[in-house]
């Protein structure tokens, strides 16, 4: 890795860590007011997604360790710390609400996950396949995020801070921008296609949450 590329990746890594901590701090602060638009299933599936990626990232780092794979692992650790801390506080403050919306979100997300496994299983693909990972990311992150949008609409935006919404967009963009540049330089391959499916779907669903939040 050239010095210039290392500076860019280090900068993006720093931004992602800052966004994770900012997201967590703003949502924990908001928790002391209300949690009405925070979807519990969204947080749980997000945590599960991070665990899966942490495992796959560790295998990748152990096979071919680089500065970038190490930073990716630390990024997952930071977000796991934030989401776990938030879930723990929800439990302590007895605000882990599980209503019909959570049941619906869980069922729809699980159907998406199982369908993805069946389709790619028939093609003899494993979870390490980049395209499969991209579609799984859509299930784990994007589907529950749509239910977050519904919760935001239902409770007039209470429980989700503007800072957290902005941090979410910045985090996604710090992954989309390098991805776009790499596609421009080297074209498409399975890894870039999988990443594009994941990140574009993630940004679209979070954009829907943002629009609903701004409207209400």
Contact 87, 47 (CB under 8 A): yes
Q: Cα–Cα distance between 38 and 56 in angstroms, integer?
A: 28
**What is the predicted pLDDT for the residue at 204?**
95
Q: Give 9-37 pLDDT, tens digit per residue.
A: 889 889 999 999 999 999 988 887 765 65
Q: Cα–Cα distance between 127 and 52 in angstroms, integer?
A: 9
Q: Cα–Cα distance between 55 and 78 in angstroms, integer?
A: 14
Assess whether pLDDT exceeds 70 at residue 96: no
**What is the predicted pLDDT for the residue at 36?**
65
Nearest CA among 30, 20, 36, 28 for reference residue 148: 36
Q: Cα–Cα distance between 134 and 59 in angstroms, integer?
A: 18
Task: Enumerate residues 6+ apart whose C-beta is below 8 A from 88.
Answer: none
- Percent over 90 (pLDDT), the chain: 41
26 token code pair: 């703003």
Q: Which residue has the tokens 């963009």?
A: 173
Q: Cα–Cα distance between 80 and 208 in angstroms, integer?
A: 24
pLDDT band at 160 (very low <50, low <70, confident <90, very high): confident
**What is the predicted pLDDT for the residue at 94?**
67
pLDDT band at 213 (very low <50, low <70, confident <90, very high): very high
Q: Give 107-127 pLDDT, tens digit per residue.
A: 999 999 999 999 999 999 888
Q: Cα–Cα distance between 195 and 165 in angstroms, integer?
A: 21
């Amino acid at each position: 890795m050239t010095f210039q590329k290392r500076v860019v990746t280090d900068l993006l890594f720093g931004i992602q860590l800052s966004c994770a901590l900012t997201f967590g701090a703003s949502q924990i602060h908001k928790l002391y007011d209300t949690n009405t638009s925070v979807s519990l299933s969204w947080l749980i599936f997000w945590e599960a997604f991070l665990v899966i990626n942490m495992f796959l990232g560790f295998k990748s780092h152990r096979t071919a360790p680089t500065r970038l794979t190490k930073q990716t692992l630390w990024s997952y650790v930071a977000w796991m710390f934030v989401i776990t801390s938030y879930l723990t506080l929800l439990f302590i403050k007895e605000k882990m609400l599980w209503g019909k919306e959570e049941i619906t979100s869980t069922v729809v997300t699980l159907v998406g996950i199982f369908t993805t496994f069946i389709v790619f299983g028939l093609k003899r693909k494993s979870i390490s396949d980049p395209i499969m990972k991209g579609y799984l990311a859509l299930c784990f992150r994007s589907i529950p995020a749509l239910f977050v949008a519904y919760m935001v609409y239902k409770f007039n935006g209470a429980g989700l801070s503007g800072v957290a919404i902005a941090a979410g967009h910045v985090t996604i963009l710090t992954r989309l921008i390098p991805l776009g540049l790499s596609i421009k330089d080297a074209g498409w391959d399975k890894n870039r296609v999988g990443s594009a499916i994941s990140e574009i779907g993630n940004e679209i669903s979070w954009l829907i949450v943002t629009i609903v939040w701004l409207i209400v």
